[in-house]
Chain A
């Protein structure tokens, strides 16, 4: 499932070198020199093949599950936990359209007590909450559109501060946040963000204040 909120998903796997003889197949993350040392000279026909596309797993657990085979829709109920390489999500109800073979999910809806923890392209951790989150993916006229829309008293908490609004839209394609009717509370960088304490400025006064 691609509920992914962060953009940097592609793994930078090392190249895989494969070389085949009559007797064996050697495959290793190695340089050509290593392969040459293994193979007999007469069969030194090592060829570099492109690394396989990385496969990442998304795990979903829940109390119960429904599958509408006609509509190709799956519904998770109760204590839904999504563990994706790019994020973790919990909610009480999640539905998704099951795509055809080889295609990706295009619509996922999470409802009730939605909590999303994810890391953006810059490695910044974010914590989002709301009553409803909708993931949408589509390609129109060759343009990819991938968004996550959070509604229902949505909040976005990061090292910089807390953002709230009517609707928070994360455009995954442009990595841009759009908050309607935004209210933002910025944290003063008094070391809290750097140390991970994230205490509000008002409760974290300078300890070496002049008398």
Chain B
């Protein structure tokens, strides 16, 4: 089942939106003891503040989200896209799996992560990452490799 959620202008960033989707817009009905249920093929969209409220600021999607104890969500096939106010893609992040802490709004994983700019000219990947939603700060912990394409004058 696919969920699409749009949030008009909201300071709340994508992960919180995703968390709300997963907590309240439950798709496949498997009940969990704490009321949080499994979701699949979800998408969450956040929009800019006015006057760009029609433009998507970020879009988070995942193939699966499994709630865990303590407000944690295990998200599989994570994809995050951010856009600028002209609707140009800025950053695209892909990770096979991560754990999102809905209370602290932090996502992390010991696994692999790939990120690239919208034009694909800056690509980075590595193992183990931490994403802090509050200040939009991404850390890759190990084995970082970057490729930058230069188009010469």
CA distance A119 to B115 in the complex (A): 32
CA distance A135 to B100 in the complex (A): 37
Question: For window 87-113 of chain A, which residues contact chain B by CB distance below 8 Å?
Answer: 98, 100-102, 104
Give the chain B neighbours of A10 by CB distance below 8 A.
152-153
Nearest chain A residue, comparing its CB with the CB of B150: A56
Q: Is A185 an interface residue (CB 8 A)?
A: no
- Size range of the chain A interface in the assembly: 20 to 34
Q: Which of A1, A66, A101, A104 contacts B137 (CB 8 A)?
A: A66
Q: Is A59 an interface residue (CB 8 A)?
A: yes
Q: Is A211 an interface residue (CB 8 A)?
A: no
Known: A56-B150, A57-B149, A101-B117. A70 touches B144 (CB 8 A): no
Q: Is A11 an interface residue (CB 8 A)?
A: yes
Known: A9-B152, A59-B146, A61-B146. A98 touches B137 (CB 8 A): no
Instruction: Check B139 against A53 for contact (C-beta < 8 Å).
Output: no
Instruction: Check B144 against A61 for contact (C-beta < 8 Å).
Output: yes
Instruction: Check B144 against A65 for contact (C-beta < 8 Å).
Output: yes
Q: List 17 A-B contacts (CB under 8 A).
A: A1-B148, A9-B152, A9-B153, A54-B151, A55-B149, A55-B151, A58-B147, A60-B146, A60-B148, A63-B142, A63-B143, A64-B141, A65-B126, A65-B139, A67-B124, A67-B137, A67-B139
